[in-house]
Every structure is written in structure tokens, then in C-alpha cells.
Amino acid sequence: MLLKIQLYILSLWLLFLLLFVNKVNIPMCFFSNCEEITLKEVALNNLIPITCLIFIGSGFIFYYKFKYIITGSKSHPEQITHLEDHNWEHLTFLVTYIVPLLSFDLDFDLSKDRNGLMFILIILIIGIIYVKTNIFYNNPTLALLGYHIYKVNTSKKSHVILISKDSLKLEDMIESKHISDNIYFAIKSEIQVRTSPSPNNLEKLA
């Protein structure tokens, strides 16, 4: 459960980054008659960007924790017998959740009335759905970092979701590590099945 929550926060990394860029307000003055401003005033004027920075930093921590979890011993090699590329799900999450939440801020100033509270409640509700429906692997941040999503059957498993940094294809040999439920992290195995040469190729070799 904790890992799912952490990966949900990581999935919102782009949202927090864009909010930070949109909301940061650092006074800059290059003339002698500028008014002095204290660090406390700067902090009070940048509560939303500071909060975003905290979540961005947390996202980095959670990513390295995820990398630590997926390292180590993995299963014995198994062959992919059926494969579907589900990388489009990253884009679906981005369009369905990240863009509308960013638009929420652009349309309604978070610092006014109860807009900030509504924004937080929406993020919490989406997070509950994200964790309960077990779609934590659907993560645009991981996509930016080079991870792919596949739905596969293998010689040992059926209907599993693979997260992998390798580009996988049918009949590849993989080694996997269980993350949660039917979700695994996978790498290509050094042991790969060699297809026997066709009769035509044998004739050419002769």
C-alpha cells in the first residue's frame, strides 16, 4: 500500500513541477530604491511553490526507493508467449488527471476562497482511486524515465503487467520481480532462446 501511494505522488511529479513554474514569485530588484523584503515574506508569498518543491523532492526519494525495490534477485528465466504494448496508458493518465488538475489551477486561483482545499480533495480522491484500482504502474513520470508497460503471458504466468526499461518482444526470455498483485518488474534475461535456422538458410550455408 505504501509503495502505491509513493508511486502515485511520483506520478504527479509533472503537475507539481508545472505548478511550481506557474506560481513561484521571487521578487527581483536591481535599483537602489528597492524595498527590502524579508525571507518570511518571500516564504508566505510562495506557499504553493514551496509545497510543490517538497513533493518534487519526495518524488525523487520515492523513485530511488522504487529502484531499490526492483533490484536484487529475480525469478528464473521465462519466455513471453503473448505480449501487448500498454505504453499508451501513460498518456491516458496524463490527459485524464494531470492536464485537468493543471487547468484547475489556471482557471481558478488556488489562493482564493476554497479553491486550494478543493484542489487537495481532488488529488486525494484520485489517489484513493489510483491505489484501490491497482493502476499505480500507470505513471507518466516513469515513462519519462524510460520505463515501458506490457501486458503479457509467459511460460509460467498469465495476464500479468510488466514494468521494464527494456523494449520487450514476443518470445523474449525475461527475469521478473514481483511488485504487487499481478504487477512485476522485468528485465531481459541473458539467456535467450535461439531460433533454429530455416531450411533455406541451411541451404545457403551449404
Q: Residue 46: pLDDT band by 50, 70, 90 thresholds? A: confident
Give the integer Cα–Cα distance in Å for 188 and 174.
4
* pLDDT: which is higher, 199 or 139: 139
Share of residues in the chain with pLDDT > 90 (%): 25
Q: Is the pLDDT of residue 30 over 60?
A: no
- The per-residue pLDDT for 196 is 43
- The per-residue pLDDT for 201 is 43
Give 51-77 pLDDT, tens digit per residue: 999 999 999 999 999 988 888 778 888
Question: For the chain, how many residues are written?
Answer: 206
Q: Is the pLDDT of residue 103 over 90?
A: no
pTM above 0.85, yes or no: no
Domain that holds residue 178: 2-205
Cβ-contact 178, 161 below 8 angstroms:
no
When divided into structural domains, the chain yields a total of 1
